[in-house]
Chains A and B, each alone.
Chain A
């Protein structure tokens, strides 16, 4: 079924690497949740300024957009750790254990490959913005390397969590696709 996998949280066993990555992902999750809360607060502040004090707002809309983007990207590793990225596990469920294990390795390696690409070119994109001092073409004119920083950080930590998941799978700490049934 296309749902959150049955395992609620990625398992770490007693492995120090897995535990460190899990802690980092959780920290990223707190940051992500914090940014969503900040977006709520800023939006409410913006509404108060506009409708109560009849003032005009300069930076709020843009800041909220960047906060939501950052919350999304930085939240990726945490949601991966919570097994919150939906998938279709109909085929893996119906596979025999060995085939399922092979499938889990394959999807894991593919995920790591694509997230590496996103991390690498995300880093380059951020670096361009930093090098050339890009600014957004709005009144606020924020330095764009700040919001773009979410790309390398988010995908970097996501990559780390995906590698940890592969390691857990290879060490037998985590079941393929988190499925308990054999």
Chain B
């Protein structure tokens, strides 16, 4: 069988196996084992544990549990609510300040916690009732928080970006920087839409903001600044060339835990264990998918599938933007069903050679891919964020949440188009900070 037909067969079998409900990592191992037995013989099974171990044998992977500990210790505190309140107090004079501070709090908290569902829960619990009380339409209130929560996988530090960096062997530092301006652009688009649709609903005149004294504004800062300072410190240490992402993340994890214990009084062993247990659960899940995807990509390349697909695409004389469009559609569909980490790990080894040979920048592509994954987080059938919002605001019908999120999906599509027209939005910052050579 020629490698291309084989590739199509692998794709089909993988889809069937994953949709059976088996866990993603195990599914990848099953598919890999099956094809290796048929085309390379039983003996190739012997290699699987060795390859799996080898894929995990990488110091960069340490940054994954470390950033997860940072995020979950922040998420276990009241930091989300404090952040929200701080922005509300500081932005109360800005027109539509509430939705602006909501989205701002989402962006900041999503960046700090790195978790979409945690962001939706933390900000949404305060933000959604407050927005509804002040006359914002339900759809805008729910949709803005759902969409704001997805920013965590784009704005640094992002575990998703680390996984992409490891899967494609691109610089994690560059990837983090590449996410900054597209992240801000998305926040801007989200804000623009929220303000526009609120104004259009005719409720804008009622949107009065609370007023706060300067004492109230300063009083809240000591509770939100430490976490922000740690995140900025971690990023500074990374770019100052002081330490590797893994090392700075370990220090950041320790500091975030300490701050959660000191400022938020999270010192009871049972509470600390919850943070540690959740971090362990999340880290093990992601690392196991990374390891299994490593075995999967070993199978793909030992059966010459990866190489043949790249060559095959090369023989097409299609416009590179048509190719990029097709890749986007593929990613979008995959993102509807699979968690971002799984999509990246399965798709990156196949897509990267195609992307680079068509002359696209892998760092820029990471941003486009990530925004595609963000769309998946607020679209059915998976749309984790939609269900989280439904859980914290049960009286808003799921349909309203869904319809409210749709315009934000459109904002993301616009962001992808803008990135295609002006790749510099993503690539300028990493090049300016770290030089243009890859």
Contact = CB atoms under 8 A, between A and B. Distances in A.
A82 B281 contact: yes
B33 A151 contact: no
A117 B33 contact: yes
A106 B20 contact: yes
B348 interface: no
Interface residues of B, number: 61
B62 A32 contact: no
Contact of B49 (A61, A64, A118): A118
A76 B288 contact: yes
Contact of A33 (B22, B276, B381, B382): B276
Contacts of B26: 85, 110-111, 114-115
B279 interface: yes
Contacts of B276: 33, 36-37
Contacts, number: 183
Contacts of A92: 20-21
B281 A68 contact: no
Given A43-B247, A64-B59, A71-B283, A88 B18 contact: yes
A1 B281 contact: no
Contact of A87 (B22, B56, B279, B381): B22
Interface stretch (A16-24, A120-128, A167-175): A120-128
Given A29-B280, A118-B49, A47 B288 contact: no
A110 B53 CA distance: 21
A118 B48 contact: yes
Interface string A84-98: 111111111000000
B30 A110 contact: yes
Nearest to B34: A114
B69 A40 contact: yes
A33 B387 CA distance: 29
A15 interface: no
Interface string A49-71: 00100000000010011001101
B338 interface: yes
Interface string B335-371: 0011100100000000000000000000000000000
A2 B284 contact: no
Question: Chain A: interface residue count, which band?
Answer: 35 or more
Nearest to B246: A43
B66 interface: yes
A36 B278 CA distance: 12
B71 to A, nearest CB: 14
Interface string B37-76: 0000000011111101100111101100110010000000
A44 interface: yes
Name the prevailing secondary structure of the B interface residues: helix
A46 interface: yes
A151 B57 CA distance: 13
A140 B339 CA distance: 38
A124 B279 contact: no
A65 B49 contact: no
B53 A148 contact: yes
A156 B291 CA distance: 17
B253 interface: yes
Contacts of B218: none
Contacts of A148: 53
B243 interface: yes
B227 to A, nearest CB: 17
Nearest to A126: B49
B382 A3 contact: yes
B19 A117 contact: no
A122 B21 CA distance: 25
Contacts of A39: 62, 65, 250
B254 interface: yes
B75 to A, nearest CB: 16
Contact of A177 (B21, B24, B65, B287): B21
B25 interface: yes
A47 B243 contact: yes
A12 to B, nearest CB: 18
A157 interface: no
B21 A118 contact: no
A76 B337 contact: no
Nearest to B55: A69
Contact of B284 (A61, A75, A124, A151): A75
Contacts of A65: 56-59, 61-62
Contact of B62 (A43, A47, A124, A177): A43
Interface in B230-246: 242-243, 246
B24 A88 contact: yes
Contacts of B192: none
B280 A71 contact: yes
A87 B23 contact: yes
Interface string B263-282: 00000000001001101111
Contact of A61 (B22, B24, B59): B59
Interface centre among B66, B279, B280, by most chain A C-beta atoms within 10 angstroms, is B280
Contact of A121 (B21, B48, B280, B384): B48
A86 B65 contact: no
Nearest to A112: B26
A103 interface: yes
A53 B211 CA distance: 51
A92 B61 CA distance: 33
Given A79-B284, A124-B46, 8 more contacts: A3-B387, A36-B69, A43-B251, A71-B280, A72-B287, A84-B281, A87-B23, A91-B21
Interface of B: 18-27, 29-30, 33, 45-50, 52-53, 56-59, 61-62, 65-66, 69, 242-243, 246-247, 250-251, 253-254, 273, 276-277, 279-285, 287-289, 291, 337-339, 342, 381-384, 387
